[in-house]
């Protein structure tokens, strides 16, 4: 396939930069148009913030308008009672900005309103260890605590946090060298884990620095020219690996049992290359630190218990047991729904449902549930019922559930019902990422002049490529599939992860051509859904997510399928932009079948979170690579009235 010439790529970021005020500053996210008073923020809070809050019940938080205080002493008192208020305040500031830009005020402005939203969101979603809003956890109601590594001194900057935010700062009881080394239930109350630099959170209930989210967020930051913020986030992951044992799912204590898809090497390479483009010099010390930490993180994925049987490949595996606390407290009734499903679909239960009986200890966990079978009443007589019987979900089910959460694809039926068998699979996504880690470490070794190390990493990458082709490639179907190493069989579940080998560059040209030919199996009017199966879970049909759109489109472009990449990019961009015009927000996911932001998720948390880190990044990245003519078409589309009734 031909390569696109440079002059065919239109950079919309420079030409459509967010509108500036007369002073040259960007729009203030907590200020109404025309309001320049000292107390404008307070006025904005009353008129704008609380109305959406009460209407939408943001993340379950309910606050009354008359609780807002203007004096700092009263504010601290309110914070101590309503810790999540500040988080909601910041998130709704983005929402409020968007309301001033769309839909009514956005006519004939093209893409400027949505780009202004994204530009402002980078700051609104930025957290640091000196801000009250950083410690808030919308998923768990608990006393606000910030935990430092056991062997780290308390930074002076944290005095602000303890003084102004009613937050305790404590040290972990012991140094942590690897995941699973501490029992997270012993850390009570759960809290935020310290990292030294500012970071961007996804938004909504996700008010911490997430592993794989951060890769896509960093891509967006680099596109927006925010290199120092992106570099600081990478250094936060160095800190996590050095002090908490690995790149974490996110920097909360209850995540000390699991990681997330290993994108850190990609972050390192992208940030380092961006630094060089800005005129930076070879930073040997930074690269040496990166190499050491990446190797440590890589070793976790390539040793037990993260090995996928005897395949030589790796798997997702959470070191914890039983139901994860954030799911129990934040995903109401989820495990009850799981239990009901397995009762009605025993062929998929795989011994996940265990009846409670007296006698030997059973391998179960979590809450008990009951089952009672009764006659359907056909008369006024009381129906006859069998005695109620109690049961629990098995420990193996919860291991699969936790491992699914490490994969990031929670919830999907890709690894069995509710992801229950995740830890029994060698996944396409994870092993493609580990190949990418090996190639990135090869590149870092070359930058450092270590040719022998570079050859070692190249050899490992080539070995993994062969294993991926052996176990995960299906030549007849022209796709990559996950491999169940306990049954010695490939899955038949068609999933967008089949594009990961293209993104990582490990697919042969023939494999890439076959996968691209299967694009039609997935493609919908609004982009690429995660799967072809409508399970009721958010990581299946009909939902498309910005991060996976980026992976698919990057993979297509890498192998020269630019027309396909352009078409899918436009489908997703226009979906995001159209929904932004409707409600002034950017969401974590979209229904790519109906091209809407409406979410009817039955499994897991139900809301469609506003923010949103990786969708903002996807919008910038996909727009940047789109040909000039398609960008102009997308701009013109924003100037047309929305269809009547929408």
Are 575 and 592 in contact, with CB atoms under 8 Å apart? yes
What pLDDT, on a 0 to 100 scale, did the predictor assign at position 78? 42
Are 563 and 556 in contact, with CB atoms under 8 Å apart? no
Stretch (H or E) spanning 284: helix 284-301
Q: Is residue 230 in some structural domain?
A: yes
Give the residue from 83, 88, 86, 85 showing the smallest Cα distance to 142: 83
For tokens 């997702």, what's the residue? 316
Q: Give the Cα separation of 547 and 632 in Å (integer).
A: 24
Please tell me whether residue 307 adopts helix, strand or coil conformation: strand
Determine phi and psi for 450, rounding to 5 degrees: -100, 80
Mean pLDDT of 526-544: 97
Residues above pLDDT 70, as percent of the chain: 82
User: Does residue 321 have an active-site annotation?
Assistant: no
Count of other CB atoms within 10 angstroms of residue 14: 8
CA neighbours closer than 13 Å in the CB half-sphere of residue 23: 5
What pLDDT, on a 0 to 100 scale, did the predictor assign at position 604? 74
Task: For residue range 329-340, list pLDDT tens digits in order.
Answer: 767 789 999 999
Q: Which of the residues 330, 410, 564, 621 is marked catalytic?
A: 410
Q: Is residue 348 in some structural domain?
A: no
Count of other CB atoms within 10 angstroms of residue 461: 21
Q: Is residue 224 in some structural domain?
A: yes
Ramachandran region, residue 292 (left: φ > 0; alpha: ψ -120 to 50; beta: rest): alpha
Which pLDDT band holds residue 105 (cuts at 50, 70, 90)? Answer: low
pTM: 0.85
Per the structure block, which two tokens stand in for 156? 């002076």
Q: Is residue 252 in some structural domain?
A: yes
Written in H, E and C, the secondary structure of 542-561 is CEEEHHHHHHHHHHHHHCCC
pLDDT for 484 beyond 50: yes
Residues 6+ apart with CB under 8 A from 141: 329
Determine phi and psi for 188, rounding to 5 degrees: -130, 125
Residues 6+ apart with CB under 8 A from 624: 9, 11, 12, 13, 223
Q: Is residue 20 in some structural domain?
A: no
Q: What mean pLDDT is reported for the chain?
A: 85
Q: Give the Cα separation of 203 and 92 in Å (integer).
A: 10
**409 or 12: which carries more pLDDT confidence?**
409
Stretch (H or E) spanning 146: strand 145-148
Q: Is residue 335 in some structural domain?
A: no
Computed on alpha carbons and rounded to an integer, the radius of gyration of the chain in Å comes to 25
How many folded domains does the chain comprise? 1
Q: Is residue 16 in some structural domain?
A: no
Q: Is 370 buried (19+), middle (13-18) or exposed (0-12) by CB count in 10 A?
A: exposed
Which pLDDT band holds residue 370 (cuts at 50, 70, 90)? Answer: very high
First-residue to last-residue Cα distance in the chain: 40
Mean pLDDT of 360-384: 85
What pLDDT, on a 0 to 100 scale, did the predictor assign at position 281? 84
Q: Is residue 243 in some structural domain?
A: yes
pLDDT for 46 beyond 60: no
What pLDDT, on a 0 to 100 scale, did the predictor assign at position 95? 54
Least confident window among 102-106, 537-541, 586-590, 631-635: 102-106
Q: Which of the residues 235, 540, 588, 621 is marked catalytic?
A: 588
What pLDDT, on a 0 to 100 scale, did the predictor assign at position 360? 64
What pLDDT, on a 0 to 100 scale, did the predictor assign at position 27? 36
What pLDDT, on a 0 to 100 scale, did the predictor assign at position 624? 98
Task: For residue range 121-144, list pLDDT tens digits in order.
Answer: 999 999 999 898 899 888 887 788
Please tell me whether residue 58 adopts helix, strand or coil conformation: helix
Q: Cα–Cα–Cα angle for 24, 26, 28, nearest 5°?
A: 125
Residue 241, domain extent = 135-194+197-301
Task: For residue range 423-479, list pLDDT tens digits in order.
Answer: 999 999 999 999 999 999 999 999 999 999 999 999 999 999 999 999 999 999 999
Are 121 and 611 in contact, with CB atoms under 8 Å apart? yes
> Longest C-alpha distance within the chain, in Å?
86
Mean pLDDT of 324-351: 86
Stretch (H or E) spanning 371: strand 364-371
Q: Is 536 buried (19+), middle (13-18) or exposed (0-12) by CB count in 10 A?
A: middle
What pLDDT, on a 0 to 100 scale, did the predictor assign at position 221? 98
Are 569 and 517 in contact, with CB atoms under 8 Å apart? no
Q: Give the Cα separation of 615 and 608 in Å (integer).
A: 12
For tokens 């396909």, what's the residue? 564
Are 293 and 238 in contact, with CB atoms under 8 Å apart? yes
User: Does residue 588 have an active-site annotation?
Assistant: yes
């Amino acid at each position: 396939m031909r390569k696109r010439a440079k002059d065919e790529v239109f950079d919309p970021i420079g030409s459509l930069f967010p509108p500036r005020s007369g002073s040259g500053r960007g729009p203030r996210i907590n200020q109404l148009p025309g309001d320049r008073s000292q107390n404008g923020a307070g006025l904005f809070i009353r008129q704008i913030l609380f109305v959406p809050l009460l209407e939408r019940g943001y993340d379950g938080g309910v606050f009354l308008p008359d609780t807002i205080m203007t004096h700092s002493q009263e504010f601290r008192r309110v914070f101590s009672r309503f810790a999540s208020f500040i988080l909601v305040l910041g998130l709704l500031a983005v929402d409020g900005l968007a309301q001033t830009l769309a839909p009514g005020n956005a006519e004939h402005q093209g893409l400027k309103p949505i780009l202004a939203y994204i530009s402002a969101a980078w700051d609104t979603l930025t957290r640091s260890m000196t801000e009250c809003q950083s410690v808030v956890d919308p998923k768990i109601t608990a006393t606000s605590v910030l935990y430092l590594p056991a062997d780290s001194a308390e930074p002076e900057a944290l005095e602000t946090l303890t003084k102004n935010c009613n937050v305790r700062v404590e040290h972990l009881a012991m140094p942590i060298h690897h995941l699973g080394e501490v029992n997270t239930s012993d850390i009570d109350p759960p809290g935020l884990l310290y990292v030294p630099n500012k970071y961007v959170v996804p938004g909504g209930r996700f008010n911490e620095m997430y592993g794989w989210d951060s890769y896509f967020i960093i891509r967006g930051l680099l596109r927006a020219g925010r290199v120092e913020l992106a570099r600081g986030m990478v250094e936060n992951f160095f800190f996590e690996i050095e002090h908490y044992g690995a790149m974490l799912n996110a920097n909360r204590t209850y995540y000390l049992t699991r990681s997330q898809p290993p994108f850190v090497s990609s972050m390192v390479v992208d940030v380092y290359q961006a630094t060089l483009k800005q005129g930076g010099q070879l930073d040997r010390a930074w690269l040496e630190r990166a190499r050491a930490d990446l190797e440590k993180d890589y070793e976790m994925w390539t040793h037990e218990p993260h090995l996928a049987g005897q395949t030589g490949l790796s798997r997702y595996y959470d070191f914890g047991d039983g139901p994860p606390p954030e799911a129990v407290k934040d995903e109401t009734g989820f495990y009850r729904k799981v239990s009901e499903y397995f009762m009605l679909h025993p062929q998929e239960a795989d011994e996940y449902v265990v009846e409670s009986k007296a006698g030997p200890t059973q391998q179960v966990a979590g809450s008990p549930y009951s089952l009672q079978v009764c006659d359907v009443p056909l008369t006024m007589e009381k129906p006859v019922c069998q005695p109620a019987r109690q049961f629990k979900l098995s420990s193996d089910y919860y291991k699969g559930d936790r491992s699914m959460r490490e994969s990031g694809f929670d919830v999907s039926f890709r690894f069995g019902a509710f992801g229950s068998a995740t830890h029994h699979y060698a996944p396409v996504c994870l092993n493609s990422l580990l190949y990418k880690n090996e190639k990135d470490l090869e590149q870092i070794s070359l930058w450092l002049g270590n040719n022998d190390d570079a050859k070692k990493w190249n050899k490992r990458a080539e070995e993994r490529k062969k294993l991926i082709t052996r176990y995960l490639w299906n030549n007849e179907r022209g796709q990559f599939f996950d491999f169940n190493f306990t049954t010695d069989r490939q899955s038949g579940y068609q999933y967008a992860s089949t594009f990961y080998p293209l993104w990582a560059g490990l697919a042969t040209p023939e494999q890439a051509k076959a996968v691209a030919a299967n694009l039609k199996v997935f493609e919908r009017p609004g982009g690429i859904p995660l799967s072809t199966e409508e399970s009721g879970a958010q990581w299946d049909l009909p939902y498309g997510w910005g991060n996976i759109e980026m992976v698919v489109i990057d993979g297509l472009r890498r192998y020269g399928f630019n027309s396909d990449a352009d078409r899918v990019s436009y489908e997703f961009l226009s979906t995001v932009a159209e929904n932004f015009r409707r409600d002034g927000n950017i969401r974590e996911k979209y229904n790519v079948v109906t091209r809407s932001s409406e979410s009817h998720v039955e499994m897991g948390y139900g809301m469609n979170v506003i923010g949103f880190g990786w969708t903002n990044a996807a919008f910038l990245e996909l727009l940047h690579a789109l040909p000039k003519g398609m960008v102009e078409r997308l701009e013109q589309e924003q100037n047309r009235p929305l269809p009547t009734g929408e």
